[in-house]
Structure 1
Amino acid sequence: MDVRRTTVRDMRRSNRSVILTGIFRDGPLSRQELSTRTSLSAASVSNLVSEMIAEGVVEEAGSVESEGGRPRVLLRVSPTFRYVVGAEVGETRVRVELFDLAMRVLARADHPIHSPTPAMVVKHVLAGLGAVLAEAGVRPESVLGLGVAVAGIVEGDAVVHAQTLGWDAVPLGKMLAEGTDIPIQVDNGANTLGQAEMWFGAGRGATDAVVALVGSGVGAALVADGSSYRGTRSSAGEWGHMTIAYGGRRCRCGAEGCLEAYVGAEGVLDRYRELDGPGLVGDEETAFVAMLDAVGTSEAAATVVNDTIGYLAAGFANLVNLVNPERIVLGGWAGLLLGERYLPQLREEVGRHALQQPYSQVSIVLCELGRDAVALGAATLPVLQLLRDGGVAPPHH
């Protein structure tokens, strides 16, 4: 093998990757802006862009006036070059969404579930995949990949360890691949939410951030120096299982005193019921909203919500002291419901628990992409692969 030729080819791919990532994340951009941002010569940028336009991955998108010269042509990733699918495996539903490369939702399928078993999840994800492709009239070979977001730790070849669901070393990637030729990637839901918020939402521009997901369970994505921090075997960010109370409440994972047992929606509602709060009906989300609405009239609701903000603040203060982020983004459906009503109180409480210096350097904000950002984040997994590969679409097996 000719080492020099390989190096030139790698270099070319790496340069294409840098240009394409710039266009996707910050576009539309002109060739001149790309040259400035990437430190590549104008000739290199021009050559590689022409190549990508010929392949259909990049297209011209209008022009802007420039100082005293010809108008500059703007470039963007062609939205219909390929499509991506994101699936969110929650504890109460499986949601599958189809996107173009402008990350617009073209079709969506929802399946409510109870106590998700691996086989049931695989069935619903594949059914949802078929449904969204049919609805939008997209052929499977035009799909770059299917990204799947799950609760739990995802190792190596999409093997999932989800203690709270009773999943132990489930080969989810392999199980899904048996039902489709579309390339599959699996990641933790907090990580996919984190990626979506860092690319398109409240995390933009931050290089050190934590994106916290508070739903039935609790997780976090850690971003250090602009990259996702995963730890030795990608289980970093299991913030929900940080011990917050020695000898405290039993968590669904089996340990005692985890943050999740106090701020995850399931734990919060359990604490409310123990205080004999007024009866709650409906699913977890409906019950959670009813409890928040009862704060003015029910002492039990007021106590539980106030304590929950306190526990969440203590969890955030631990992050502030431990990882010194410039930004903490609160997301997840329960996190948003709490944050929309209690963000100022939460910020104040974090200040009471954290060291002053790192606390003065952090901003605590709400997730901007709403409650469906997990599926969007899952769909960015195949996009990231395309950007890394410099716009070369993977073959379907």
Structure 2
Amino acid sequence: MDVRRTTVRDMRRSNRSVILTSIYRHGPLSRYELGRETSLSAASVSNLVGELLDEGVVEEAGSVESDGGRPRVLLRVAPTFGYVVGAEVGETRVRVELFDLAMNVVATVVSPIETPKPAPELAVRSVLQGLDEVIAGAGVAKERVLGLGVAVAGVVEGPADAVVHAQTLGWDGVPLGAMLAAGTEIPIQVDNGANTLGQAEMWFGAGRGATDAVVALVGSGVGAALVTGGTSYRGTRSSAGEWGHTTIMYGGRQCRCGALGCLEAYVGAEAVLERYREAGGPSAATDDEEAEFVALLAAVGTSEVAAKVVEDTIGYLGAGFANLVNLVNPERIVLGGWAGLLLGERYLPQLREAVGRHALRRPYAQVAIELCELGSDAVARGAATLPVLRLLREGGVTRKLTTS
């Protein structure tokens, strides 16, 4: 093996990655701005940008006036160089979306799930069927799809060849990556849904500009993405962020994971609705958990039972956020997930007050508590960033380029 040749090639790819990442995350940028952003020489920037332009990964996007010289040409990642797919395997539905590289939604398929604990085979079938449907619906050649990112609940050891441990779903060591890969030639990556939500919000939403943040997902279950120093913190084996399974009450309600007193047993949508029924609220009139949750919130003005359940839920969630404030000292906490958004849109001021009652004064004064900005498809969008991130790390080298 020629060690020198390998080293030069790796360095060149690394420099391409630095340039491409800067353009994608902070662009459009001129060559001059790229030099300042990356600390690469003008000659290196010019040569590498020329390669990326020739390959179609990057394109010109207008120009800006410079100080006394010719206008500077701006560069951006070409939106239609390739496409990426993100899938969210939720407890009530599977959402599959096709995006261009500017993260514009091109096609969407949403499939309901009839059981709250879908078998892995059912989840795989729904994702792969959705993958085929969005590609066909968009009229995109399958070879132009750079990858499929899949977001699931639980601990994900991966993301390539991912193995999933999701106690709340009854999944124990499920080789989800291999199961998905067996059904398609498109590269597969799998990650925890809270992590993909966090990546989407940090890249495109309410987390932009923050270096120490927590992005919380509150849906049927509860999780969080932890970002410290601008980098996702995942722990020894990628299970960091299981905030929903931190204990909020010793000997408390039984959580779906089997433990007692978990935060999820008090603020997860399934648990909130269960508390509502136990307190005298109506029995479920539908299998649609989201519709039932909306009905609970709508009843707050006319039902003391509903009002008390929601008030307690905000209190529990505030205490959970206060634990994050005291433990992590984030500059920003972003609340997302479908149930989190429904609560936050109505009760964000009360939630902030509840956090303040439980957190230490100084770190509480340093944190901003905001709502996710990307809406209901944020988890799937974040899953789609997994193949985008791989493209950036590889310096724009794709299956098409490596096999041609």
Do the structures match in fold with TM over 0.5?
yes
Q: Distance in 1 between matches of 2:121 and 2:150?
A: 15
What residue is the counterpart of 1:37 in the other structure?
A: 37
CA distance in 1, matches of 2:282, 2:397: 57
1:189 to 186, 190, 193: 193
TM-score norm. by structure 2 comes to 0.97
Q: In structure 2, which of residues 382, 388, 395 is the aligned counterpart of residue 383 of structure 1?
A: 388
Q: Structure 2 matches for 1:234-383, cutoff 5 A?
A: 234-282=238-286, 283-383=288-388
Aligned-residue offset at 1:43 = 1.3
Please report how far the alpha carbon of residue 5 of structure 1 lies from its aligned counterpart in structure 2 after TM superposition: 2.0
SS at 1:148 equivalent? strand
Counterpart pick for 1:150 among 126, 149, 152: 152
Query: 2:337 corresponds to which letter in structure 1?
Result: G
Is contact 1:196–1:376 with CA below 8 Å preserved after alignment? yes
2:64 is matched with which residue? 64
Asked if residue 7 in structure 1 is aligned to residue 12 in structure 2, the reply is no
* SS in structure 2 of the partner of residue 168 of structure 1: strand
Residue 204 of structure 2 corresponds to 200
- Give 1:296 deviation, angstroms: 1.2
Aligned residues: 397
- 1:136-164 per-position Cα deviation (integer Å, ceiling 9, x unaligned): 11111111100000011111331011100
CA distance in structure 2 between the partners assigned to 1:183 and 1:280 by the alignment: 41
Q: Which moved more, 1:144-153 or 1:113-122?
A: 113-122
Cα distance between partner residues in 2 of 1:287 and 1:355? 35
After superposition, give the CA deviation of every residue in 1:315-342 in whole Å (9 maximum; x if it has no partner): 0000111111110000000000000111
Residue among 134, 145, 151 paired with 1:132: 134
State how far apart, in whole Å, the 2-side matches of 1:29 and 1:4 are.
32
TM-score relative to the length of structure 1: 0.98
Cα contact 1:147–1:185 (8 A) shared by 2: yes
Q: Deviations over 1:171-223 (max 9, x none)?
A: 01101111100000000000000000000000001011100000000000001
The root-mean-square deviation of aligned C-alpha atoms, in Å, is 1.2
User: Which residue of the other structure, out of 175, 195, 199, is the alignment partner of 1:171?
Assistant: 175
The corresponding residue for 2:90 is: 90
User: Separation in 1 of the partners of 2:25 and 2:101?
Assistant: 11
Offset at 1:280? 4.7
Asked if 1:102 corresponds to 2:106, the answer is: no
Gaps of 5+ in 1: none
Shift of 1:314: 0.5
Partners of 1:280 and 1:290 within 8 A in 2: no
Q: Distance in 2 between matches of 1:218 and 1:394?
A: 36
Per-residue CA distance 1:217-242 (angstroms, 9 max, x = gap): 00000011111100001000000000
Matched AA of 2:341: L
Alignment of 1:12-27 (within 5 A): 12-27=12-27
Q: 1:281 offset after TM fit, Å?
A: 2.5
Structure 2 gap ranges (5+) = none
SS in 2 for 1:307: helix
